[in-house]
Structure 1
Amino acid sequence: MNPLISSKDQLAPLFQKRPTNYQPNVFTESRQEFTELEKKIVTLVVNQIGHMSLKGETIIGSNLVFNVPFSELTKNNHKQIADAAESLQSKRLAYRDDVKKEFHYITPFPSVRSAMIDGKRVIELIMFSAVVPHFAELGQRYTKYDIDMMLTMSSVYSQRMFEIVSMYQSRGQYQFSYRVDRLMEILNCPSQYIFNDFRRNALLIAQRELREKANIHLDWAVQKEGKKIVALDFTTKTTQQLATEAVKQDQRQINKMAINEAVTTAWQLMKGYKLKSWQKDLIISDHSLLETFYRVDSELANGLRTNIKSPTAYLVKSLGIDQKKDAKNLKTLDSKQLQIPGLSTELDALTNVPQSLAAIFGNMIMNE
């Protein structure tokens, strides 16, 4: 039994990892001294206290006691956790505003120790009652993010930028700005860093990990005063948003085409599917089917439709021709409709994958 725990202290419910974290924005924008593993421990604590706060379960004036299973952090490297727990006990949160001449430095976890609960080894953390509001007071605006995505981040800079991006996306904002010195302070960058160090060791690493692990595309433009970079304007887009934009761009390109060009391009795109000859004829002979073909092909090629095992089967079903059989009774097309300049009757070998319009036009230019 931990002698620091009294009967007045509140023991958090048995650990149960929830898929979403909730935390105050003021915590998101605080300077945090945590290492990558320490941050993961804190993330799991936030996972518990955020849901307690949402349910109104935190008791004002009581210390909070959390038990985080070792198994949530590692399978066998207990020494690594012990080292992180030892250093976590002394790490601080810093709230500082030199304009208002205000500052507040907080040590969130005065006691961090290992314990056994129901045969499982856990990290027991005590959070003083005065610190609880910094983690629990969500208010009207708070940061919400997927905990599993956070836990996959291998850099503390990626973890922190993921929180910041999530804070703005929780508000429906995909553009935001920070002064460089302010952002470097929030991310707890070494004081000797110049902008190139910050860009190379923090921003570029975060940009890569957010793209690879969270499907978030983070870009920035610089603001200068003279030659000095003083601020950054960030833009974030999800993979889904980029795919949607690409589909819309394809549609704009299609809308500019003459009918002959549209049919010629459709024939090229059809090489990416295992369509029967009569199905191809049916698609190009029906304006509505041709429009649907272009839309579905673009969605597949740009990644807007995922987990599709058979693009051909999906396309045919989307066109509504999956139940049709060889249409021998189709009306013969007007031969004038098919007199399309430059259309070869001998198509290239099947690629077996849908191609975007950009790729098709690139290939056509290269082959000219």
Structure 2
Amino acid sequence: MKKLSSTNKSLQLADGQLSLVFESATVTSPVEVNPETIVLRTDTNKTILIREPLKLLTSTTEFGFFERRLYWLVLREVRNIQALDKLKIKPFEELKFRFHYSEVIKGNPNSSIKKVLDLIQKRTISWEDESGKHTNVVVFPMAEYWPNKGIIELTMYHAVIPVFLFLGSGYAQYGLEDALILSSEYAQLLFTNLARFRNTGIWRVGLDELRELIGAKEKSYNSYSAFRTRVIDLSLRQINEHTGLSVTYTPMMQSRAVVGITFHIKSKMSVDELEKETKKAEMKQRYDELMQMDIAEIIAYAGTKLSQYYPSFTHQQRKAILQNSDKLQAFLRADLYADYGFANKDPEAYVAQSVFNYKKKGLPSGDVG
């Protein structure tokens, strides 16, 4: 099956089901610097918005600090095949993920990758379906590491794949670099929960529920004073300093006892900027989905687009787009850019400029990926 492909995914068919391999750019171009000062030569993580399904958010509190980093890297890879509609999720037999170890231990050079893999291979998540059936599943039954290459490979169990891909039950969305920069488990979990309420700007949560959500179950945190100073305040200091959120809080009182917290959440990025970043992430997702289609399907899709929305294109221009792979990919990118409202002044002229290098004063330039 021939494909146009600009992604780092390998698709295979086995017994009618798909197996998908994700390979991080750091595997083929590993960094050659001390992990303590790593600057990854991959996509700029600040522009990567990952989506964490709520079912996962509430069932991964047992993951440790480095395990959660690996888990976030997995979410980075699957973001382009996540869907709001269960019917759009392909029947994957398994998903494999390959990373360079430096992505996981960034800033912590003395950490043991082998220990991290031993732990993540045992981690489970659980959920209940519509009928009330309770399921508990090991997420990554196989975790491998090649020390001489610095390569980690995780294999996701088939039964858990839809949980990672289905967003229809809600999800938290946040920047990957915002998450990776946090240096404590409590800050990691508090940040991802706060990100759920970025749009509403407020999160009211009971004290016991909050302790459960961020894994602060130690007896030493039973008193509100200790929980506030050693968990909430320290976590928010990191979150406010290093992420795109600015958070304050007030206690919820019952008589003289604190029974909950009201978090007040502001985004350092304006609503328009955040929407733009979100649109770019969605465009990238749609483009990568197109690149996974059979070449005949891609050409048919482009042909329909050309006939419906580009009536001024000549026969020769359409033929050039449909018969030249470079021009076809340029057309698909530019068409998505127009679809998402980034070429409102003159979409046809913008697409013509992008595909054929036509120049017209005042036209924007841009790309989805």
Normalised by the length of structure 2, the TM-score is 0.55
Which amino acid is the alignment partner of residue 60 of structure 1?
P
Alignment of 1:57-72 (within 5 A): 59-60=90-91, 62-72=93-103
Matches within 5 A, 1:172-321: 172-192=199-219, 193-194=221-222, 195-239=224-268
Secondary structure at the aligned position of 1:53 is classed as coil
- Between the aligned partners of 2:183 and 2:110, the Cα distance in structure 1 is 18
CA distance in 2, matches of 1:47, 1:217: 23
Comparing 151-160 and 197-206, the one that deviates more: 197-206
Q: Larger Rg: 1 or 2?
A: 1
2:122 aligned partner = 90
1:52 aligned residue (64, 81, 84): 81
In structure 2, the partner of 1:43 is 72
Q: Deviations over 1:117-156 (max 9, x none)?
A: xx84321111111111221111273221111111111011
CA contact (8 A) 2:22 2:96 kept: no
> 5+ residue gaps in structure 1?
242-368
- 1:14 is displaced (CA, Å) by 2.4
What displacement does 1:215 show?
4.2
Q: Could you tell me which residue of structure 1 aligns to residue 21 of structure 2? A: 12
Alpha-carbon distance in 2 for matches of 1:228, 1:199: 14
Q: For 1:189, give the aligned amino acid.
A: A
2:357 corresponds in structure 1 to none
Q: Structure 1 residues 229, 81: CA separation in 2 closer, same or farther (over 3 Å shift)?
A: same
Aligned-partner SS, 1:197: helix
CA deviations on 1:274-324 (whole Å, 9 max, x unpaired) are: xxxxxxxxxxxxxxxxxxxxxxxxxxxxxxxxxxxxxxxxxxxxxxxxxxx
Cα deviation, residue 197, structure 1:
3.1
Contact 1:27 1:135 in 2 (8 A): yes
Aligned pair 1:145/2:174, yes or no?
yes
How many Å apart are 1:43 and its aligned residue? 0.6
The residue type equivalent to 1:166 in the other structure is A
**Structure with higher RCO (Cα < 8 A, 6+ apart):** 2
Between the two proteins, the alignment pairs up a number of residues equal to 231
1:80 to 98, 101, 112: 112
Contact 1:158–1:210 (CA under 8 A) maintained in structure 2: yes
Residue 212 of structure 1 deviates from its aligned partner by 0.8
| Matched AA of 2:216 | C
Cross-structure match for 2:63: 34
Q: Structure 2 CA distance, aligned partners of 1:31 and 1:228?
A: 30
How far apart are residue 191 of structure 1 and its match?
A: 4.4
Query: In the aligned structure 1, how far is the partner of 2:196 from the partner of 2:181?
Result: 18
Classify the secondary structure of the residue corresponding to 1:51. Answer: coil
AA in 1 matched with 2:217: P
**TM-score, normalised on structure 1?**
0.55
Paired residue type of 1:173 = T
> Which shifted more, 57-66 or 119-128?
57-66
Partner of 1:112: 143
Taking the aligned partners of 1:196 and 1:103, their CA distance within structure 2 comes to 36
Report the CA distance between 1:61 and its aligned residue. Answer: 5.0
8 Å contact from structure 1 (residues 67, 122) kept in 2: yes
Displacement of 1:208: 0.3
Give structure 2 stretches of 5+ with no counterpart: 1-11, 26-41, 271-369
Query: 1:155–1:205: 8 Å Cα contact kept in structure 2?
Result: no
Relative to structure 1, the CA distance from residue 220 to residue 114 in structure 2 (aligned partners, 3 Å threshold; closer, same or farther) is: same
CA distance in 1, matches of 2:160, 2:94: 9
Matched with 2:308 is none
Q: Percent identity?
A: 21
